[in-house]
Amino acid sequence: MILVIGEILFDELPGGRRPGGAPFNFAQHLHRLGEEVLFVSRVGNDKDGDSLLEFIREAKLTDRLIQRDPEHETGRVEVHVDRLGIPHYTILPDTAYDHIDFELIESGTDAEIQLLYFGSLIQRTESGRKQLQRFLGRQPDSILRLYDMNLRAGCENKDILIPSLEQTDILKINEEELAATGRLIGSSLTGEELIVYLIETFKIKQIALTRGPEGSRLYTDDGKRIEQKAGSVPDDAVVDTVGAGDSYTAVLAYGNLHRIPPEETVRAATQLSEQICTIAGAIPPDNRFYKELNLKR
C-alpha cells in the first residue's frame, strides 16, 4: 500500500480547468501502474470540492481519506504556460488542503504502508508543517519516505526543507530546487558536490535530479551515478510539461517498491515523463504509455 498525502486542486489552465496537484497526479500514475494507493487530501464543502471528489472516483481511487472543510474553499492554481511549454503557477492561499487533519489519517489507515509520499505545499502553514512532521516522526522506519520537493511560492524556507530532508529516503528534485536547497541550508556547495553532501548529511538513499530536456540523474548512497538522456520526443511534439515530473516520481517509487534495477527505473521514468509532455495536462486518457514502459516486476 502507498500512502499519498497532499494537495488536490483545480489547475486553471489557458485551455480550461483540470483537476491537479502533484500528489493527486502521482497517485493516479501509480494506480495506473497497478499499485494500491490511499490518497489523503482535503477539499472545501463547495461545488469545486464536489467536482474533485467525482474526479477521484472516476480515477478509481478511494475517497475515504478525502476530508471536507466547512470553512475553507477548495484549492485552485492559475497556470500560465510560456512559449516553451513551461508552466508557471499562481497558487491561491489558505485553502482546504492547508488544513488536513492528520489525526483522521491515522484513524483511517488500517493497511500496511510500504511507501509514504509527501511534498512541500501542504507545509506552507505552520500548522500543516508541524502536523506533517509529527505524523512522519511516528511512522516506523520500515516505510520508505519519498519527498517530492516541488518548491512553490510560500514553501522556500528552511523550516519546511530541513525537517523534510531529515525524514527522506528518496528525494526527487530539479536543478532550480537543488540550488535553492543549497541556499536554504547555508551551504556553498553546488551541483554534484551538494547532492553528495545531502545524501551523507541527511542519510538519503536516493536522489533523483530531473533536468528538463537534458534528462535526469539518479544518485545513490552507495556512490552510483546513473544518467539518462532525454530526447525521444521531438520539440514540436511537446504540448506542455504540466505533470511531467509527477509521472517521473511515480515510476521512481514503483521501481523502488519492486526492486527494479535503478538503471531500468530511470529509463522508464524519463520515458513516461517525456510522453506526458505530448498531451495536454498531466494524465493520459488511457493506459498505453504505461504498457509501453515494459517494466518487469
> pTM value?
0.93
**Separation CA 21–CA 185 (nearest Å):** 26
| DSSP code for 235 | G
How high is the pLDDT of residue 243?
85
81 band by pLDDT with thresholds 50, 70 and 90: confident
Average pLDDT on 226-237 reads 84
13 pLDDT more than 80: no
The ranges assigned to domains in the chain are: 1-113
204 pLDDT more than 90: yes
- Cell numbers of 38, please? 490511499
How high is the pLDDT of residue 133?
96
Nearest to 30 by CA among 70, 64, 68, 59: 59
Nearest to 145 by CA among 2, 38, 30: 2
How high is the pLDDT of residue 80?
82
Helix axes 191-202, 175-184, angle to 10 degrees: 60
Average pLDDT on 132-153 reads 94
**Separation CA 70–CA 20 (nearest Å):** 21
Q: Say which residue, 283 or 160, is predicted with more confidence.
A: 160
Average pLDDT value for the chain: 92
**Separation CA 178–CA 112 (nearest Å):** 32
pLDDT tens-place string over residues 147-173: 999 998 888 999 999 999 999 999 999
| DSSP code for 232 | S
| Amino acid residing at 281 | G
110 pLDDT more than 70: no
Nearest to 273 by CA among 66, 11, 22: 22
Residue 88's contacts (CB-CB under 8 Å, 6 or more residues apart) are 79, 80, 81, 82
What is the DSSP track for 242-285?
TTHHHHHHHHHHHHHHTT--HHHHHHHHHHHHHHHTTSSSSS-S
Q: Domain 1-113, what fold? A: UDP-N-acetylmuramoyl-L-alanine:D-glutamate ligase (3.40.1190)
What are residue 79's DSSP bridge partners? 89
Residues 25, 65: contact at Cβ < 8 Å? no
C-alpha to C-alpha distances, 8 to 27, 101, 153, nearest whole angstrom = 11, 15, 16
User: How many residues are recorded in the chain?
Assistant: 297
Torsion of CA 39, 154, 123, 37, to 10 degrees: 20
Q: Provide the H-helix boundaries in 36-89.
A: 47-58
Average pLDDT on 110-126 reads 92
256 pLDDT more than 90: yes
